[in-house]
Amino acid sequence: MDTVSKYFGANVFNDTIMKERLPHETYNMLQRTIKNGKHLELGLANVVANAMKDWAIEQGATHFTHWFQPMTGITAEKHDSFISPAFGGKVIMEFSGKELIQGEPDASSFPSGGLRATFEARGYTAWDATSYAFIKDNTLCIPTAFCSYGGHALDKKTPLLRSMQALSRQALRVVKLFGNEDVRFVETTVGAEQEYFLIDKSVFDKRKDLIYTGRTLFGAKPPKGQELDDHYFGAIKPRVLAFMKELDEELWKLGILAKTEHNEVAPAQHELAPIFTTTNIAADHNQLTMELMQKIAKKHNMVCLLHEKPFAGVNGSGKHNNWSLSTDTGVNLLNPGDTPAENAQFLLFICAVLKAVDDYQDLIRISVASASNDHRLGANEAPPAVVSIFLGTELSEILDAIEKDVPYGTKEKEMLRIGVHTLPKFPKDTTDRNRTSPFAFTGNKFEFRMLGSSASISDANVMINTSVAESLMQFADILEQSNDFEADLHKLIQDTIRQHKRIIFNGNGYDDRWVKEAEGRGLLNLKSTPDCLPYLLLEKNVKLFERHKVFSPEELRAQYDIQMESYCKIINIEALTLLNMVNKDILPAVSGFIKDLGEAYQQKKAMPFAADCSYEENLIRDLSDLSGRLYHQKLALEKAMESRSGFADVGEKARYFRDVIFASMNDIRIVVDEMEDKTRSSAWPYPTYGAILFSVK
């Protein structure tokens, strides 16, 4: 065995280890419990816990933790050691089944949106046995779901698992209609490509904005940015290569299938893509990937920036959520098949996605909404805030022919009858050329590209899974009643194309004309987080989540509150950071530079000859004007900040933060950047964009 296969998954209590370590009967019972999604019995849990503990201790672990994903979007853990007092002042290492299956973190400070009053601080974590336990930093981590005592979801994992179940339930009905009786469940698969920036720690440490907010609040354009495209797929610098090598090794030990690493478009920007896997595992793995990126960067004296827009005027970072559906028998349902039946099934699933994304554009948009991602969406470098689907020419032409009942293809001049004819083969690579589409069919999966780089992928997948489950449910309701399957299927596909083709757009999504056209088609263009979040509570959406048992109305309301609050909090921190920088660093620095200029001016004036003072004179005037303006702007922002807590309605508060606070920050930035351009390098208090973006040599 080569070395990688030897250590791949070495830190994971995976299926192979379970088989080795658990008594045969226990192993089988555990597998059955996992597959059927049943509650783990204590007797069984005790045996599993013991085997897990022995294995973990052999790997050097001393602690265990329930690892969970509160609605903050990052992961949380509270470590307990295995030690238990024993006779004679000694300890033994213990870990019970109860400790494995359920934990009670004091979780009063995690956001709950009112689902758990703070005096009832208890929430509990429960083992998600579908995701393997693993060891990280000498701690056995048990992936868990996090709920309130009333059973409300307080995390990102619970709704995701529920949405996967909803989708499986409905997809199963559909595949059975096509005669696939052996299928027991359908799972959604995801591969999440992750973008990030790496900068040197020395420049990071000098920027309060990066430290407190993750992005730069100021920064004049450097002489060289990304215009040469010389970074994209360019040779990777040795320091970055060393980082990537260590990252890969650590990810592999955790059983994470890191596959490709390359440079991205912007200087200092990179990307990692894993091989796809079941969605909830992909979500766990993406969280671990982000965590390890940050940790390993530090070891290499760098900082990994996961913010969506660390630098204005430079490409931001996103996450591409490659999504598909697969049967437990290994069939990718978004793969065009070879037989008429497979083809028909494929088309029906494509239609389910078309319908879902059209009917629930608002939810798809909400799933990627955050203060930090607002910088990307709608800007000229990432998907616009309009949701649309790219299908590629071939598939679009096929759908067009079906819709209009006209012949497709050049060879056989026959009409395509669904369920009777085989689809003409369309070359896969031609479907992947459009990089500007927010939701692109790429041959055998959809690539949802609107996600922000720092987000948990759970939200996006909850929305996709639930809305597609709804389409499939409606389809199954119709087809299960049918007496002429082929005819009704044909009609259903035709009707769906007719009703939802407005969501298909194969052109350039970054073109302003598209935004106009989309408006004409009646598509939503929800530009900011406060714009889109209210849609979450629309009756049709509340009903959708209730019907598929993904969110109760109370849980949905909590989601809304938490996300609006979080939007306000982020802008609040940014505004405070900005004011701190302006007051303590920028205004004093420029004032100091003006003083130097004044001294130079005085000295020149004292010369025995008439020295030209235009440089000093003009610059003093310009910078004095600018700092005067900045001073008044920052006074106005300070004043505006005083009114920020006077809102009873969180949506109103968020709009205030956007329209007043955030807008004022942007105006201030313009002035500060101009000051930076005019100020002597050594007098400017922060590393410049150039120094940051090219800090890793």
Q: Which residues bind Mg ion (CB under 5 A)?
A: 193, 320
Contact partner, 273, from ligand ADP, Mg ion, none, Cβ < 5-8 Å per class: ligand ADP
Does residue 304 sit in helix, strand or coil?
Answer: strand
> Under a CB-based contact definition with an 8 Å cutoff, are residues 118 and 99 in contact?
no
Instruction: Report the site for ligand ADP in 36-95 (rule: CB under 6 A).
Output: none
Residue 401: which H helix or E strand, with range? helix 393-404
Task: In whole angstroms, give the CA distance from residue 321 to residue 276.
Answer: 10
Write out the two tokens for 524. Answer: 């939503």
Instruction: Identify which of residues 435 and 621 has a Cβ nearer to ligand ADP in the complex.
Output: 435
Per CB under 6 A, the list member of 126, 153, 154, 273 interacting with ligand ADP is 273
With respect to Mg ion, which residue has the nearer C-beta, 219 or 318? 318
Nearest to 174 by CA among 492, 417, 502: 492
Residue 274 or 419 having the CB closest to ligand ADP: 274
Residue whose CB is less far from ligand ADP, 196 or 311: 196
Write each residue from 610 to 629 as x if it is in contact with ligand ADP (CB under 6 A), else as -, in one continuous string: --------------------
Residue 434 CB, shortest distance to ligand ADP, in Å, is 11
Q: Minimum CB separation from ligand ADP for residue 273, in Å?
A: 4
CA nearest 81: which of 101, 60, 57, 64?
A: 64
In angstroms, what is the minimal distance from the CB of 445 to ligand ADP?
Answer: 4
In the shown chain, the binding pattern of residues 141 to 180 toward ligand ADP, with x for contact by CB under 6 A and - for none, equals ----------------------------------------
Which listed residue (8, 243, 276, 439) binds ligand ADP by CB under 6 A? 276
Build a one-symbol-per-residue string for 397-436: x at contacts with ligand ADP by CB under 6 A, - elsewhere. -----------------------------------x----
Closest residue to Mg ion, based on beta-carbon distance: 320
Please state, in angstroms and rounded to a whole number, the distance separating the CA atoms of residues 78 and 331.
Answer: 40
Radius of gyration of the chain (CA): 28
Q: Which of 31, 62, 108, 444 binds ligand ADP (CB under 6 A)?
A: 444
Minimum distance, C-beta of residue 442 to Mg ion, in the bound complex (Å)? 8
Tell me how crowded residue 615 is: count the other CB atoms within 10 A of its CB: 12
Determine which residue in the list 445, 490, 634, 653 makes contact with ligand ADP, applying CB under 6 A. 445
Out of 324, 466, 467, 627, the only residue in the binding site for ligand ADP (CB under 6 A) is 324
What CA–CA distance (Å, rounded) separates 193 from 440? 14
The alpha carbon dihedral of 523, 526, 531, 537 has a sign of positive
- Counted residue by residue, the chain has a size of 697
Centroid of chain to Cα 59: 32
Backbone angles phi, psi at 477, to 5 degrees: -55, -40
Binding mask 174-213 for ligand ADP (x = CB under 6 A): ---------------xxx-x--------------------
Number of C-beta neighbours around residue 78 at 10 A: 15
C-beta of residue 12 within 8 angstroms of C-beta of residue 132 = yes
Q: Which is nearer to ligand ADP, 192 or 364 (CB)?
A: 192
Residue 136 binding target from Mg ion, ligand ADP, none, CB below 5 to 8 Å by type: none
What does each C-alpha distance from 465 to 189, 367, 550, 657 come to in angstroms? 11, 12, 10, 32
Any contact of residue 572 with ligand ADP (CB under 6 A)? no
Question: Would you state the structure tokens that stand for residue 36, as one six-digit string?
Answer: 């059927």
Dist. CA 437–CA 443, nearest whole Å: 14
The residue among 415, 392, 421 whose CA lies nearest residue 402 is 415
Distance CA 438, CA 249 (A): 32
Rounded least distance, CB 421 to ligand ADP, Å: 25
Count of residues that bind ligand ADP according to CB under 6 A: 16
Site string for ligand ADP, 332-371 (x = CB under 6 A): x---------------------------------------
Query: What's the CA gap between 123 and 558, in Å, rounded?
Result: 15
Which residues of this protein are in contact with ligand ADP, per CB under 6 A? 189-191, 193, 273-276, 322-324, 332, 432, 442, 444-445
